[in-house]
Amino acid sequence: MTARDDGERVGYFEPLLISSNARLRSRLNDLALTLAEKSAAFSSSLPPAIAASLSEVVAIANCYYSNLVEGHDVPPINIERALHDNYSDDAKKRDLQLEARAHITVQKWIDDDGIAAAPFSIKAIREVHRRFCELLPPELLLVKTGKGDEKVSVEPGALRTRDVKVGRHLAISPGSVPRFLGRLEQSHKSLGRIDRILSAACGHHRLLWVHPFLDGNGRVARLVSHAALRSSLTTSGPWSLARGLARRENEYRTHLASCDEPRRGSLDGRGTLSESALANFAEFFLETCIDQVDFMTGLMQPHKLHDRVLTWAHEEIRQGTLPRRAEPVLTAILYSGELERGEIAVLIRASDGSARRLTAALIRSRVVRSETSRSPLRLTFPIELAMRFLPGLFPED
């Protein structure tokens, strides 16, 4: 089936970036630099082993909040269970667990430098969609066509061949999608660092405006923006863009709708769409990112994290589920990120047998883990303890 192309000019969704003489440009430059500096400082403040463990729970947070934006409320504990092949007997809950697992799998692929092309390239955009949708159960790939109860199945990675309308926005004809994506890709090439950071915001809306897929566009846009930030910031650190957007969802949606509006006079850029609206969204987007970096930086301050973990440990010791000598071991892991097994007996001034029993108790509690029987112990952040160790990362309920 050949998709209908109405011949729309690619200028219909310009500007694609914020011009150097835009009213908010200086403010956006400052925000981009602040984000880069704070993200780098946060990343460098974490021992590598703790950063790796933190990234795992933040990936769950990213998935959880991205699901919320899509109207899918999957409890974080159910997301974690899905990662361990522990699925609900309820078919609908199981499908949502599979969807969550698909999201985390794709994000890990991104974080492991899986994207060989630029984030806003046609290749990368289609690859993100393909990888995500291929992991979904068939039921979640069915979308309504608008003709009664008729549904069609979304083909992973395939650009849409049908017309779509999102709110008041009637998207471009399906046959024109490749041309518009090609223009988006071209506009994001050979950018300086500031513009590359800004492109994560600007490209986010313009990708949604094109609406290249029959379904899954919002999630793909957030994952692609995650990839763009990771690339432009070099070391983005374990913080969640999706958490910030979900917590300000009404503003997020209002800004996106505003960016669909046409140019507002001769002082509003030179494109067809409003440059000032795009600049306002970029400001909101960057402020949201900075807020999330600040939140995680405060959450991971060593003395505060140390106090929260040890408060929990003291309770476990009183209940008899952890040995009395667990505290110095946890303290050592908190400050260095990991602890060699051979150091535990010396640290607690006990026999090797006592050290092995303590190690086993800590691993059973899931507060530490070890890849093999000889690997170092590393701190972990299991979801059931996330409210204790990382308060505020997830909603209290």
Contact 188, 120 (CB under 8 A): yes
Write down the CATH number for the domain with range 302-389. Answer: 1.10.10.10
CA distances from 57 to 62, 163, 184, 332, 386 (A): 9, 38, 33, 21, 8
Residue 45 CB partners (closer than 8 Å, separation 6+): 297, 300
In 3D space, the residue among 264, 295, 292 whose CA is nearest the CA of residue 278 turns out to be 264
Give domain limits for the chain: 10-299, 302-389
Rg (CA), the chain: 23
Classify domain 10-299 at the CATH topology level: Fic-like fold (1.10.3290)
If one counts every other C-beta atom within 10 angstroms of the C-beta of residue 267, the result is 10
Would the CA dihedral through 251, 252, 253, 257 be positive or negative? positive
CA distances from 138 to 95, 203, 231, 327, 382 (A): 9, 30, 32, 48, 30
Within the chain, what is the greatest distance between any pair of CA atoms?
79
Written as tens digits, the pLDDT of the chain (397 aa) is 688 999 999 999 999 999 999 999 999 999 999 999 999 999 999 999 999 999 999 999 999 999 999 999 999 999 999 999 999 999 999 999 999 999 999 999 999 989 888 999 999 999 999 999 999 999 999 988 777 778 899 999 999 999 988 878 889 999 999 999 999 999 999 899 999 999 999 999 999 999 999 999 999 999 999 999 999 997 666 999 999 999 999 999 999 999 999 999 888 888 999 999 999 999 999 999 999 999 999 999 999 999 999 999 999 999 999 998 999 999 999 988 899 999 999 999 889 899 899 999 999 999 999 988 889 999 999 999 988 999 999 987 6
Cis peptide leading into residue 15 (ω within 30°): yes
Please tell me the distance from the alpha carbon of residue 280 to that of residue 151, in angstroms, as a whole number: 37
Query: What's residue 360's pLDDT?
Result: 93
Question: How far is the C-alpha of 224 from the C-alpha of 124, rounded, in Å?
Answer: 8
Cβ 261 vs Cβ 272: under 8 Å: no
Give how far Cα 317 sits from Cα of 31, 53, 59, 362, 365, Å: 46, 24, 30, 11, 12
3-class secondary-structure state, position 219: helix
Query: Are the CB atoms for 208 and 225 separated by under 8 Å?
Result: no
* Cα 98 to Cα 96: distance, rounded to the nearest angstrom: 5
- Nearest-angstrom CA–CA distance, 68 and 198: 25
**CA–CA separation, 253 vs 251, rounded Å?**
5
Amino acid at 121: S
Percentages helix, strand, coil for the chain (3-state, rounded to 5) are: 60, 5, 35
Q: Is 169 helix (H, G, I), strand (E, B) or coil?
A: strand
- Comparing CA positions, the residue from 109, 86, 114, 107 lying closest to residue 98 is 86
Go through the chain and tell me how many residues it has.
397
Which residue in the block uniquely carries the two structure tokens 């409210």?
A: 387
CATH topology of 10-299 equal to that of 302-389? no
Helices and strands (H, E) in the chain, number of each type: 16, 7
